[in-house]
Amino acid sequence: MNLYSPSELQALEEAFGPFPREAVDLTVGPESEAFWHPMRAKNRRGEVVLVLQPEPGRVLVHTKAFYPPGVYRLPTGGILPGEAILDALRREAAEETGLSVEPERFLGLVEYRFRREAEEASFASWAFLLRPVGRGAVHSQDAAEQIAEFRAVPVEDLRRIAAQLRALPLPWTDWGRFRAVVHDLVARELGSGPLSP
């Protein structure tokens, strides 16, 4: 399955200007079955990363009921096959946060190649800084997501969150390594310092 077309990249660059692109290879261990199956699924070609700033210098993160204690991350949502990236962005923002949004800045694209023994899977994360349209409280509209809490944290905390995600024990290790990458990218693009090692 193609993750995107060249015309999609061109349209985003025309709309938002040049943006960073990263390619990441991750080897997935046999203990990461719950992570591996969604990566191989053909019902989505990637995800949008929702970067909302409820106030200057802070970003919205969330945790879910089934996450390890104390683990927060940037909200994300799947891009369906045939769905335009900006359409997915608006749909997922409404579902995840209850807010209507408009993209303010395209922060970057991360392209992943996952390997597990002889199998491979590809995935892409598209990170956008978003501007809420109108007012409203942040509240998930999809109970199946099991979002337990939203929190506004300083942008600088994204580097700490990335380090925490990279340090998660089994069976969360591969998921955490995957999730950490885009937090580093967003931290860098919002001016909070260099990428984590």
Instruction: Please indicate, yes or no, if residue 196 is contained in any of the structural domains.
Output: no
CATH number of the domain bearing residue 128:
3.90.79.10
- Predicted local distance difference test score (pLDDT) of residue 41: 77
pLDDT by residue (tens digit) across 143-188? 989 999 999 999 999 999 999 999 999 999 999 999 999 999 999 9
Whether 195 is covered by a domain: the verdict is: no
| 58 assigned to some structural domain | yes
- Which amino acid is it at 161? I
The answer to whether the CB of 180 falls within 8 A of the CB of 165 is yes
> Per the domain annotation, does 16 fall within a domain?
yes
Report if residue 177 sits inside a domain: yes
Q: What is the per-residue pLDDT for 147?
A: 96
Domain count within the chain: 1
Q: Please check whether residue 197 lies inside any domain of the structure.
A: no
Mean pLDDT per block of 10 residues along the chain (197 residues) reads 87 96 96 86 87 94 97 96 94 95 97 94 96 89 93 97 97 96 97 51
Total-model pTM: 0.94
Inside any domain, residue 1: no
- Predicted confidence at residue 192, as pLDDT, reads 56
> What are 126's strand-pairing partners?
48, 109
What pLDDT score does 1 carry? Answer: 58
**Dihedral, 78, 154, 170, 196 alpha carbons, nearest 10:** 100
| Helices 173-189 and 157-166: angle between axes, nearest 10 degrees | 160
pLDDT at residue number 65: 97
Tell me which residue range forms the domain holding 153: 6-189
What are the distances in angstroms from CA 183 to CA 30, 124, 137, 158?
Answer: 25, 14, 24, 6
Phi-psi region of 72 (alpha: psi -120 to 50; beta: other; left: phi over 0): beta
34 occurs within a structural domain: yes
